[in-house]
Amino acid sequence: MKDETGRARVIIEGVEPEIDCGRFPIKRTVGEKVVVEADVFTDGHDAISCLLLHRPAPKAGSRAAAKWTEVPMEPLGNDRWRAEFTVPQMGRWLYTVSGWVDRFKTWRRDLRKRVDAEQDVSVDLLIGAELIRQAAERAREARKKSDARVLEDLAADVSEGEDLAGRTSLAMEDELAELMDRYADRRQAAVYGKELGIVVDRERARFSSWYELFPRSTGRDGRHGTFRDAERRLAYAAEMGFDVVYLPPIHPIGKTFRKGKNNNPQSEPDDLGSPWGIGGEEGGHKKIHPELGTIEDFRRFVARAGELGIEIALDVAFQVSPDHPYVRDHPEWFRKRPDGTIQYAENPPKKYQDIYPFDFETGDWRALWQELKSVFDHWIREGIRIFRVDNPHTKPFPFWEWLIGEVKRENPEVIFLSEAFTRPRIMYRLAKLGFTQSYNYFPWRNTRLELMEYFTELTQTPVREFFRPNLWPNTPDILTERLQYGGRAAFAQRFLLAATLGASYGIYGPAFELLENRAKERGSEEYLDSEKYQIREWDLDDPNSLRELIALVNRIRRENPALQIDRTLRFHGSDNDQILVYSKTSEDGGIGDIGGNVILVVVNLDPFHTHASWVDLDLQAIGVEPDQSFQVHDLLTGARYLWQGTRNFVQLDPQQAAHVFRVRWRARSEKDFDYFA
């Protein structure tokens, strides 16, 4: 092929989204849009054409790449262009941008100007006819004979005849423009220098409701629970509307330096230890704690969850107790201290004598990597497709990029949740490397300003292209001060924030719905009598439980697509800093379209006092015209209100922590507004 590189005059830059100069892929789920913008321009005054190109990434070992699918880009003004496409299936995809000087488009634009100026265009029509003949030749080369004949006939009609006005009108027809676009001369097209990546996950990567429970606490009368016992808890979680049940490690627990109750370094003979102290004489990461049952019991548990519409997520913690078989069989995988003992885990001043970290700088690192991947492979074979990964920020970044890439290449449906409460750049790097979802700073964002600033960063900046937050108001490690002292209203408030700010959220239960707020000591976020170290019995029928509210909100989330995405989150004004107002809109149907879904949430951030406010709405964000009345239907209480304009009044006491309004700006039928009669 003749090299036309030096004649390509179009410049392509400022492509978005693009993460770290194309080093990392963006994230989407099946059926989501990818909206791409780019600065595309050339010297002089010639018109240009642009295409967004996308295709599946080549399979490993495959020599043939799929053909690019082309989407015309539309000009936004000031040399900015935009196009979009929808990713249809899981896996990796590629996209890039191409542009070229379009001689026909330039000619047609200038012809219109000359006609408007009443200039003689007879010669110009001859120039256009020649461009059309060249397009006919390209159609013939593409074996599109019928199009070639049409173009040849059009070229003749434009170049010949005495009816100048008719020839000019023919040159301006849309049919001709469409054919010329189809057979444009792209020999001098420029292509952006990078093929940018997309990781496409299944829907649950974007929208999920998690419930964490300890199977050993599902027994009765203080007895160690089993998977048979935990089956009953699955129905309880399903009734509340959860679709993911997450289990802490289910493996044998070591006895050496086993932790006692309340993290006591000295254990009693009947102490169970921490599930994160993995490994004993019964085995390690691929075995089940014998008191939980057998592998057959586990398989039955997973199958029962599936019948209830629940997926089981397992905790993967890459650390071992001193009794783990790895310590005996692979001492080279651990770091030795000068006295010959193995270095246990520390985060000074905290000491974790019951676990050893792996030494990822070992000379045998390749074997270590392969063995750790085999842990995921084992549980994937047992039907697990969701993993919560403990403290990934304490393992090397290259390891995670390799492991997640390998696992998802073989099983693209697998979801990884990163439990990394650490510095922002580290959390973001892990997400870029492949973690599907991520824990985040939500538990400690309490004020209106804190929440608005943080969630604007997560949903309205480039962070949203790679970081999917999973919001947890509590975990077995985190009992925040707000929950310790805020009472039932604080639990309701934090739950409603998590479930409506985030498309994915989770709670550690039954501690959360039963309002467990006892800290180990003042100033600590550790639970008193934590399930991490002992069995707890829970009264699931406690009348003060939040289970009914949780079930209602999870149903609202399922029925309203706006709550199933994060990127449409927008904050609205309020003249009271204890009132937070935000909206979400569905992307299907479109804002302002009667088929769309708009949710407006108003939250009282003070768990102790009633607050009122005039809210200041961004009407454009919720698809309402300035002079239009609209209905807000509180999905929590059933109440309906008629609002108009940007400023409307709200009042919330602590017992009703929030309004979750469905906004209707146009009646679907007369009965929609019957209650105003």
Q: What is the pLDDT of residues 454-469, one digit of tens each?
A: 999 999 999 999 999 9
64 vs 611: CA distance, rounded Å: 63
Cα atoms in the Cβ-side hemisphere of radius 13 Å centred on 565: 25
Q: What is the CATH number of domain 103-183?
A: 1.20.58
In 3D, which of 350, 301, 322, 303 has the Cα closest to residue 252? 322
Per-residue pLDDT at 6: 66
Does residue 627 carry a pLDDT above 60? yes
What pLDDT digit, counting tens, does each position of 211-256 carry? Answer: 999 999 999 999 999 999 999 999 999 999 999 999 999 999 999 9
- Enter the DSSP assignment of 606: -
Say if residue 592's pLDDT is above 50. no
Q: Where in the chain is the domain with CATH 3.20.20.80?
A: 208-250+291-316+470-559
Instruction: Please tell me the distance from the alpha carbon of residue 417 to that of residue 336, in angstroms, as a whole number.
Output: 31
Q: What was the pLDDT predicted at 50?
A: 97
Q: Which of 45, 69, 43, 44 is nearest to 55 (CA)?
A: 69
Structure confidence at residue 675 (pLDDT) = 37
pLDDT in tens, 546-572: 999 999 999 999 999 999 999 999 999
SS3 state at 633:
strand
pLDDT of residue 65: 83
Query: Is residue 106's pLDDT more than 50?
Result: yes
Q: What pLDDT is stored for residue 346 in this prediction?
A: 84
**Amino acid 666: pLDDT:** 58
Q: What is the pLDDT of residue 668?
A: 46
In a 10 Å sphere around its CB, with 0-12 CB exposed, 13-18 middle and 19+ buried, how is residue 43 labelled? exposed
- C-alpha 498, offset from chain centre: 15
How does residue 676 score in pLDDT terms, banded at 50, 70 and 90? very low
Q: Sorting pLDDT into bands at 50, 70 and 90, what band is 4?
A: low
Q: For 654, which DSSP code?
A: T
Residue 308, sorted as left (phi over 0), alpha (psi -120 to 50) or beta, turns out to be alpha
In terms of pLDDT, which residue wins out, 63 or 202?
202
Find out whether 314 and 379 touch, Cβ atoms under 8 Å.
yes
Cα–Cα distance list, 49 to 9, 134, 139, 593 (Å): 12, 17, 18, 30
Cis status of the peptide bond prior to 265, with omega within 30 of 0:
no
Q: Which residues contact 112 (CB under 8 A, 6 or more apart)?
A: 172
pLDDT tens digits, residue range 26-57?
999 999 999 999 999 999 999 999 999 999 99
Where do you find CATH 1.20.58 in the chain? 103-183
Cα distance between residue 597 and residue 561, in whole Å: 7
Contact 359, 352 (CB under 8 A): no
Calculate the average pLDDT of the chain: 94
Express each pLDDT in 471-494 by its tens digit. Answer: 999 999 999 999 999 999 999 999
Residue 169 CB partners (closer than 8 Å, separation 6+): none
Mean pLDDT, rounded, for 348-369: 93
Residues 6+ apart with CB under 8 A from 524: none
Given a cut of 70, is residue 532 above it in pLDDT? yes
CATH 2.60.40.1180 boundaries in the chain: 563-676
| Percent over 70 (pLDDT), the chain | 96
Listed residue (467, 457, 476) closest to 427, CA to CA: 467
CATH number of 563-676: 2.60.40.1180
Radius of gyration of the chain (CA): 31
Question: 408: which 2 tokens?
Answer: 């998802």
Instruction: For 208-250+291-316+470-559, give the CATH class.
Output: alpha beta
Q: Is pLDDT above 70 for 2? A: no
Digit-coded pLDDT (tens) for 308-343: 999 999 999 999 999 999 999 999 999 999 998 899
pLDDT in tens, 258-287: 999 999 999 999 999 999 999 999 999 999
Q: Which residues are catalytic?
A: 390, 419
State percent of the chain over pLDDT 90.
91
SS3 268: coil
> How does pLDDT run across 162-214, given as a tens digit for each residue?
789 999 999 999 999 999 999 999 999 999 999 999 999 999 999 999 999 99
Which pLDDT does position 97 carry in this prediction? 98
pLDDT given for residue 7 in this prediction: 75
**What backbone torsions phi and psi does residue 406 show, to the nearest 5 degrees?**
-70, -45
Structure tokens at 580: 């937070």
